Structure 1
Amino acid sequence: MGVITVSAVCFERADGAVLTVRKRGTEAWMLPGGKPEADETAAECAVREVLEELGVEIAIAAIEPMGEFVTTAANEAGFALHASVFRTRAAIDPQPRAEIEAMRWIDPAVGIDDPAEAPLNRELIFPALVAERAVGRGPSGVEGAAR
């Protein structure tokens, strides 16, 4: 089985909703992001992809690592996905660009059960966010941080 490596950003609104996007010609909703270019760090890739896909310019300092995740690729049958995921609560005004056909904000507690969400979101990202919410942790992992 081949492995696809990507970087992605989990944009979280104050109400806990997460931005997901759908690429043209696909069914799965996923976090904005994409494949790294040569000599590009995971964070640099995430920042570049968000600018290309959503017109959102964000500084590397405005994102924090959420983790490294391995699951099944959403749109490439027979491939595993290795994702470096970053998170931010930066206020943004995204606009679908490039290969992005649609975008939506979704509550992770709802997205866990949405078969249209990519495996990365349903199986790993959304459950982690729901668990954080349950113990009152915010994006930085600080007890009692606002959600």
Structure 2
Amino acid sequence: MTTLHIAAACLLDPNDRLLLVRKRGTHALMLPGGKREPGESPVQALQRELEEELHLRLEAATLTPLGRFQAPAANEADTWVQADIFIARLHQPVEAAAELEELAWLAPGEPLPDNLAPLLRDQVLKALPGLLA
């Protein structure tokens, strides 16, 4: 079993909607972020991925750690992800870039989509108390 080390963000807009992304050629909605490269800290990897995927530049000080979570990978068989997850507020529009095919928003109290990645569905949303009840 392979483990991928990733960093991802719960990006919230002014209405507390959570940004979800879907990569090209995949089915699962997940948090923006991605794999860490050798020598990168979780924050450095997340900053790089957010700029590549969303043209979004966030200062490290704006990223609040939520925790480290582990779950089966959404798009790769026999693979787990170990994810450092951060929370940040969005104060500017974002657009899909790089390998992203879709952006979606999950509003507080809204039913959860059926195609959420296991990490998000089973771990991260439970760690956001009150936010997406």
Other-structure match for 1:14? 14
Partner of 1:49: 49
CA RMSD of aligned residues (A): 1.8
User: What CA deviation, in whole Å up to 9, does each residue of 1:44-96 have, x standing for no partner?
Assistant: 10011000000011111111111000011000011111000111113131111
The residue identity in structure 2 corresponding to 1:72 is: P
SS of the residue corresponding to residue 75 of structure 1 reads coil
Counterpart residue identity of residue 123, structure 1:
D
One-letter amino acid of the counterpart of residue 29, structure 1:
L
Task: State the match for 2:117 in structure 1.
Answer: 118
Distance 1:28 1:110 in 2: 18
Q: Which moved more, 1:84-93 or 1:2-11?
A: 84-93
Distance 1:53 1:122, change over 3 A: same
Q: Answer 1 or 2: which has greater strand percent.
A: 2
Please state how far the C-alpha of 1:39 moved relative to its aligned partner. 1.1
Matched-pair contact (CA < 8 Å) for 2:107–2:132: no
**Structure 1 unaligned blocks of 5 or more:** 136-147
Structure 2 CA distance for partners of 1:91 and 1:57, relative to 1, 3 Å: same
Quote the Cα distance in structure 2 between the aligned partners of 1:32 and 1:133.
Answer: 18
Is the Cα–Cα contact under 8 Å of residues 114 and 122 in structure 1 kept in the other structure?
no
TM-score, normalised to structure 2's length? 0.91
Higher relative contact order (CA 8 A, sep 6+): 2
TM-aligned CA distance change 1:37 to 1:133, over 3 Å: closer
Matched pairs, number: 133
Runs of at least 5 residues in structure 2 that lack an aligned partner in the other structure? none
Identity of aligned residues (%): 35
CA distance in 2, matches of 1:9, 1:120: 12
- Where has structure 1 moved over 4 Å in runs of 4 or more? none
Counterpart code for 1:100: L
Name the CA shift for 1:40/1:69 in 2 (closer, same or farther; >3 Å): same
Q: 1:138: which partner in 2? A: none
Report the structure number with the largest CA radius of gyration.
1
Aligned to 1:132: 130
Contact 2:11 2:19 in 1 (8 A): yes
SS at match of 2:36: coil
Q: Per the alignment, in what secondary structure is the counterpart of residue 52 of structure 1? A: helix
Alpha-carbon shift at residue 109 of structure 1 (Å): 4.4
Bigger Cα displacement from structure 2, 64-73 vs 83-92: 83-92
